[in-house]
Amino acid sequence: MIRLYVLPIAFLFLLSGCFFKSDKTGSADGIICEYLYTDSAGQVLITHEKVFHATSKSSGRGYMRISGFTNTRLSAYDVKDGHLLARTIFGGESEDACLLLALTGNQLWCVRKNENGQVTLQTYDPRTLKVKASADQLLLQASFLKEHLANPEWYQLPQFYGYDAGRGIILSDDQGFHYALNPVTLKVEKITDVSYQLPPLNDPDITGSHTAYNDSVILRLDGSPRNYLVIENGSRRLENDPGFLKGSFLVDKNLSRLQQMQSGQMQEVRSLISQQKSMVDSLQMLADSLRRNKTGANIRSMETAIHDMQDRIDNLVRKAATSGSLHGGTNRLLLAGSDNFFVLQASSTNKDAGLLLSSLQWAPGQPLRLHWQSNLTGLFFDASNARETNAFKEVFSSGNPEFTFRWANISQQQLLLTWMLHTTCIDVRTGKVVWQIKH
């Protein structure tokens, strides 16, 4: 697909490397999604990247017009040192569309729409990025779907295909019905819930000013331009809080980790519901017995207690329904351990302000402690403000970069942070940068 961009003329030099760019070796101009894979050989960062190819440029009235097309590719990087392990080229963003759905076990799930307009389901090996299973194998228990998968325009694929941590791989047929494919058993079930909504595949926002520390404590960053940590429903700053310039929390977007945490919450809530129901049944039996025997006991107070307990049960049922959802609700802090979390902030108020990462330790009733602070070299706090600065031009000397995608994850005492088309690996114990790559 040919795209047209209108940019300030001062940005012209940044496009000098766009002509004749190689999909295999050229730098990425955008990131669609990332996954972290773990096996016995180590860990792999899988990145779905975009490479823009400019075909023509023209300028006038201080602006430059660029037309071109975008190809996509899959890249696998060794988390040990950041080196490239494998790369697969998909081709045109519209002619050979690829939508990554999920990483489950040792399979990377993908929906492809090729240049002939056919939609198919595939899985890839997360380490080699070679095709592992085809639609014939994956839909063996639902062969009727293979020829009837929904076939929308390439940019509409996320409306029909996705991943639900509670159900599995979500597929749609050409009649608009949703199906859940279990990634382990490959069993396919039709989703009959008419109110079901497909969860969004990618949430590009890994930061927030209002996040849950645990099940009962919510923290927020108040103030402008310098923010301070306060507990929800309070206004007093945490003790020893140094403040953060335009600060924001790093939040957890790892679906598997959130699912595990929420499964524990669900189990606890169900246990409380069972206890409350048992108490209500016992009280109801006692009240009925007292009525039959006409003992003159104060049954009204007992009925009030039963009513109150039933209200608590209803509240717990509503909480269970909320906890069971992996999308929506309050964000969770990205934690390294039980009491260690992170805040991103600007290094200054200048346009070319760098990105600072702070590691904080805190527990309810304790003062806040700054564990370490790291200045992430080459990364700007706000790329849109920094584009016209000399510092930005030194970092991005070619290409047509998009900076909307951001991602973070914790892995074996290391924080992986993707920001401005760079991934930085940071030791969470010291704040030392272990490695950094430009995609």
**3-state SS string over the chain?**
CCEEEEEEHHHHHHHCCCCCCCCCCCCCCEEEEEEEEEECCEEEEEEEEEEEEEEEEEEECCEEEEEEEEEEEEEEEECCCCCEEEEEEEEECCCCEEEEEEEECCEEEEEEECCCCCEEEEEECCCCCCEEECHHHHCHHHHHHHCCECCCCHHHHHHCCEEECCCEEEEEECCCCEEEECCCCCCEEECCCCCCCCCCCCCCCCEECEEECCCCCEEEEECCCEEEEEECCCCCECCCCCCEECCEEEECCCHHHHHHHHHHHHHHHHHHHHHHHHHHHHHHHHHHHHHHHCCCCCHHHHHHHHHHHHHHHHHHHHHHHHHCCCCCCCEEECCCCCCEEEEEEECCCCCCCEEEEEEEECCCCCCCEEEEEEEEEEEECCHHHHCCCHHHHHHCCCCCCCCCCCEEEEECCEEEEEECCEEEEEECCCCCEEEEEEC
For the chain, which residues make up each domain, given as ranges? 94-199, 207-255+330-438, 264-323
Its pTM stands at 0.80
| pLDDT band (50, 70, 90) for residue 397 | low
Question: Which CATH code for domain 207-255+330-438?
Answer: 2.40.128.630
Select the highest-mean-pLDDT range: 203-217, 252-266, 331-345. 331-345
Q: What is the mean pLDDT of residues 386-400?
A: 60
101 burial level (CB within 10 Å; 0-12, 13-18, 19+): buried
pLDDT computed for residue 331 by the predictor: 81
Q: What is the mean pLDDT of residues 18-29?
A: 81
pLDDT computed for residue 247 by the predictor: 94
| pLDDT band (50, 70, 90) for residue 114 | confident
Least confident stretch, 100-114, 272-286, 332-346: 272-286
13 φ, ψ (degrees, to nearest 5): -60, -25
Mean of all residue pLDDT scores within the chain: 83
pLDDT tens across 133-191, in order? 999 999 999 988 988 999 999 889 999 999 988 889 999 999 999 999 999 999 999 99
Q: Which residue has the higher pLDDT, 186 or 258?
A: 186
Q: Which residue has the higher pLDDT, 288 or 417?
A: 417
Q: What is the mean pLDDT of residues 53-68?
A: 70
